[in-house]
Amino acid sequence: MKTRFSVYPYVWRVPLLIWQGLFFIGPLALMVAMSFWLVKNYRMEPDFVFKNWDKMMSRGYFWDAYWITLWRASLAALLATLIAFPASYTLAFKVSDTVRRWAVFFLIVPFFTSYLVRAYAWQVLLAESGPINAILGYLGLGPFTMLNTGIGAMVGYMTLVLPLVVILQTFSLAAIDRNLIEAAWNLGASARATLFKVIIPSARVGLIIGAVFAFILSYGDFVSPFYLGGSKPPTMSILIIDTTKSGQQWPRAAVVAIMMIVTLFTVAFVAVGAAYGRRK
Amino acid sequence: MRMADILSRVYVAALFVFVFLPILTSVVFSFNSDRFPTVPLGHFTTHWYETAFSRPEVWLAFKNSLIVAFCAASLSTMLGFVTAYTDFRYGFRFKTAYLALALLPPTIPLVIMGLAMLAWLGRLGLSGTLIGIIIAHTVMGAPFAMAICRMRLQQMDPALEAAAWNLGASPWRTMASVVIPFSTPALISAFCLTAAVSFDEFIVAWFVSGLNKTVPVMILEILQGNVDPQINAIGTVVFLTSITLVILAQLLILRRSAT
């Protein structure tokens, strides 16, 4: 547009660079550096040693935490995808546009409301003497131990991720060209064949992105495994909190954090690659 | 209606019940007299609200939360808007990297942000201050604000700005009298949503807050003790606040896409 130098574009471009540099990249870079530092007399001293890495990598409890977190987050992503799909399918194909808009409207609300208080509510609901067991008791069932088990943690993960997964799936299903589906029917495809050969492949990107978000959120979550899952064995995030809060061992917590970020990004890249790959 | 259609609607309804059950539970038990909540319910009481809100530290926490939410939301909205405008208006080298930098924070687990912020703010001498929490919440909120502003700018005819320039308005003047008025609903909506994000965030706040506790941090600390129905009372107030903010934000988004 203009050839002479103008300050105008930079006023809009630069604030983000400064802010993210100072308060996003800076802290993360410090954390990486910190993982090579040493703690002496309860104070961190800059250094470049691999002691923290050796310490964490050689401990059984670290790998227990690593695998249980990976396993639970994968299970949560799979469950959320399966539980959400019938609902998303209904919202995408069986209801009017207005109903769908309102449904999405109400699904956004819980995502931005206190997850902590919702987890506490589940703690009350799932307790041995809580309302759910009381109702099951009238039916002659239970009581079941749900709190402080893997089930409790999974209920918490679903509370956290289901609304988002349903929204993402609904959008991707609603965006499918209806002619494609009708064509499949006209050509005599069964409902099952239409679902698996037309609808699911067309909505692949949205389905995978939904699962990836479910994975990311569950993987990093600390509330559900701690308050609903009983924190035994600890997950990676519980390990970070324990290491930071009790032992002042920030460098070792940084090691756990870096392992988490590497794992998350690997999973996300592989999954997004699968979503967009082979799609000509 | 066919059987399958009815079943599929029942399924959707069940999923909504699951999603909203914890919120409803919290509200119902906040008015219930029993200390250990179960069914059948006890009688109606406002006792837990009275107990909770007679404590000065609860009021202090609400004051802290409001200050943090207001400042973090203002900063996030400004940062989100300038970034969204940059993305809308300009192409430049490394723009993909620039946008990745802008949108990356929500993918980093909060526990990790908490640890990194704790160490970094400590170096800057800001740990344990409300400013530290405001900074952390701005980092987390700005991507949401940017997304909302970007969607709004998408609806603006790019020729509108060019027209203003041709009529002799400076870029600054155009920004002030064309772009910002057009984006106002998005700015308000981004403000509400990022305020809700900040108002509910507790992990990073817990890491960096020290003695200046916000409401969710206080809830977290009460939770580490015993069952305490005061949490339901405080939680209900927190829910009402953030639900109001989120619904307000969404109504603005819906109304503006209608016009």
Give 3-state DSSP helix, strand, coil % of chain B, rounded to 5.
80, 0, 20
Contact A254, A35 (CB under 8 A): yes
The CATH number given to whatever domain includes residue B152 is 1.10.3720.10
Quick: pLDDT tens for B93-139: 899 999 999 999 999 999 999 999 999 998 898 888 899 999 999 99
| Residue B77 in domain | yes
Quick: pLDDT tens for A181-230: 888 888 888 888 888 888 988 888 899 999 999 999 999 999 999 989 88
Q: How far is A27 from chain B (nearest CA, A)?
A: 5
| Residue B19 to residue A110, Cβ atoms within 8 A | yes
Which residue is closest to B95 within chain A, CA to CA? A13
- Cα separation of A165 and A211, whole Å? 7
Q: Which residues of A touch B196 (CB under 8 A)?
A: 112-113
The one-character DSSP state at B44 is B
Please report the pLDDT score of residue B95 as a whole number.
Answer: 92
| Residue B115 in domain | yes
Number of domains forming the structure of chain B: 1
Q: Say yes or no to pLDDT of B148 above 50.
A: yes
In 10 A of CB A274, how many CB atoms?
Answer: 14
A108 is written with which tokens? 């956004």
Q: Say yes or no to pLDDT of B65 above 60.
A: yes
| Residue B129 in domain | yes
| Residue B8 in domain | no
Whole domain around residue B118: which residue ranges? 55-258
Contact A42, A248 (CB under 8 A): yes
| Residue B19 in domain | no
- Cα separation of B58 and B60, whole Å? 5
Residues 6+ apart with CB under 8 A from A72: A150, A153, A154, A157, A218, A225, A235
Q: Say yes or no to pLDDT of A280 above 70.
A: no
ipTM: 0.89
Please confirm whether the linkage preceding A225 is cis (ω < 30° from 0): no
- Cα separation of A125 and A142, whole Å? 14
Q: Which band of pLDDT confidence, cut at 50, 70 and 90, is reported for residue B256?
A: low
Contact A84, A168 (CB under 8 A): no
Domains of chain A: 52-276 (1.10.3720.10)
Q: Which residue, A39, A38, A170, is CA-closest to A100?
A: A170
| Residue B59 in domain | yes
Q: Which residues of B touch A134 (CB under 8 A)?
A: 38-39
Angle, in degrees to the nearest 10, between helices A150-174 and B3-30: 130
Using CB atoms, pick whichever of B23, B203, B207 lies closest to residue A113. Answer: B23
Q: How far is A174 from chain B (nearest CA, A)?
A: 16
Q: Region B140-144: what's the mean pLDDT?
A: 95
| Residue B254 in domain | yes
Quick: pLDDT tens for B76-94: 999 999 999 999 989 888 9
Quick: pLDDT tens for B15-35: 999 999 999 988 888 888 877
Q: Say yes or no to pLDDT of B60 above 90.
A: yes
| Residue B238 to residue A121, Cβ atoms within 8 A | no
Q: Which band of pLDDT confidence, cut at 50, 70 and 90, is reported for residue A247?
A: low
Question: Which of A25, A104, A117, A250 to probe the B interface (max B CBs under 10 A)?
Answer: A117
In 10 A of CB B146, how many CB atoms?
Answer: 26
| Residue A30 to residue B15, Cβ atoms within 8 A | no
Average pLDDT, chain A: 88
DSSP B77-128: HHHHHHHHHHHHH---TTHHHHHHHHH-GGGS-HHHHHHHHHHHHHHHT-TT
| Residue B100 in domain | yes
Q: Which helix (H) or strand (E) holds A45?
A: strand A43-45
